[in-house]
Structure 1
Amino acid sequence: MREHNYAVTINWIGNTGEGTASYTAYQRDFIVESPGKAPIPGSADPAFRGNPEFWNPEDMLLASISSCHKLWYLHLCAVNNVRVLEYVDHPVGRMIEGDDQRKGHFKEAELRPQVTISSQSDRDLAMRLHDDAHHECFIANSVNFPIRCRAVIDYQN
């Protein structure tokens, strides 16, 4: 078994001079940093007093699910002679703030990739490889909510 380790720095930049003196006294903004990589500005979701121009943790989770699926999908297509020419995804996720049994959590996510393949590629195989990508995806294997994939595959004209 191989093990991979990851580390980032989350630097809160939201102290407006009073720290967390009250719920409204501070900003939720932070910077995600890792050596050699571009910083990512983050904040809370605007529903929780966050900056709407910055990435929030929920956005990042959805982006992680989608990008991991895409990377596995492209790999599987490459080794199965399916030539992908374009790939764009518009994933959506649904989070609920919680009830008496469970605190806030993601309820589900849906990937909506639109894939263009070469006219020589097998469309049915290209569609089936989305299921394989889902089972291989490290992020999908790490979350405790369902992730569906509703892919659309077109041929290059």
Structure 2
Amino acid sequence: MKNHIYEITVEWTGNQGEGTLSYQSYSRNHQIIADGKYAEIKGSSDPLFLGDKTRYNPEDLFLSSLSACHMLWYLHLCATHKIVVTEYLDNAIGIMEKTQNGIEKFTQVTLNPTIKITDKNKINQATQLHIEANKKCFIANSCNFKIHHKPTIIAQ
């Protein structure tokens, strides 16, 4: 079995002089860095948890990882099935809930991609490929909840 190893650096940049003296004394700002990548990602926590709303939070990145992984598998499958995709735009929605034991976690994600293809005769096949893409998506396979898909396929 082949292992894939990923390395990332998360650096907290939010010490405002007092460290974590209190819950309010520090910024949640951080940056995500990977060797060889073009730029760092500016992160924070959700504003609900005193984060900077102009920065990506872990929940944003989690949802974007699911969406991007699905998209990449979908595009691959379309290419191998001779379906020409010219546009792909996903407006993904994730729901995080507090469970009965007080733990907050994602319980549902719905991907809502709008995809443009060149052949109207392949709309049904293009729609069905989302099922296969979901089965192959590494991120979706790592989740303990179902990922829903509501694709809209448009022929140009």
> Above 0.5 in TM-score?
yes
Check whether the contact 2:78–2:129 (CA below 8 A) recurs between aligned residues: yes
Question: Which residues of 2 match residues 10-89 of structure 1 at below 5 A?
Answer: 10-37=10-37, 38-89=39-90
Check whether the contact 1:90–1:113 (CA below 8 A) recurs between aligned residues: yes
Q: Secondary structure at 2:154's aligned position in 1? A: strand
**In the aligned structure 2, how far is the partner of 1:124 from the partner of 1:96?**
34
Number of residues paired by the alignment? 155
Aligned-CA RMSD value: 1.0
Check whether the contact 2:70–2:137 (CA below 8 A) recurs between aligned residues: yes
* Residues 1:2 and 2:2 are matched in the alignment: yes
Q: Secondary structure at 2:28's aligned position in 1? A: coil
Deviates more, 1:120-129 or 1:139-148: 120-129
Runs of 4+ in 1 over 6 A off after TM superposition: none
**In the aligned structure 2, how far is the partner of 1:62 from the partner of 1:36?**
23
Kindly tell me: are residues 40 and 143 of structure 1, through their superposed partners in 2, closer, same or farther at Cα, counting changes over 3 Å?
same
* C-alpha distance after superposition, 1:108-140 (max 9, x if no partner): 000000000003651110000000000000000
Task: Report the counterpart of residue 134 of structure 1 in structure 2.
Answer: 134
Runs of at least 5 residues in structure 2 that lack an aligned partner in the other structure? none
* C-alpha distance after superposition, 1:56-115 (max 9, x if no partner): 000000000000000000000000011101000000000013332x51100100000000
TM-score with structure 1 length normalisation? 0.96
One-letter amino acid of the structure 1 residue matched with residue 136 of structure 2:
E
* Residues 1:107 and 2:107 are matched in the alignment: yes
* Residues 1:116 and 2:116 are matched in the alignment: yes
Deviates more, 1:102-111 or 1:115-124: 115-124
Q: Secondary structure at 2:53's aligned position in 1? A: coil
TM-score with structure 2 length normalisation? 0.96
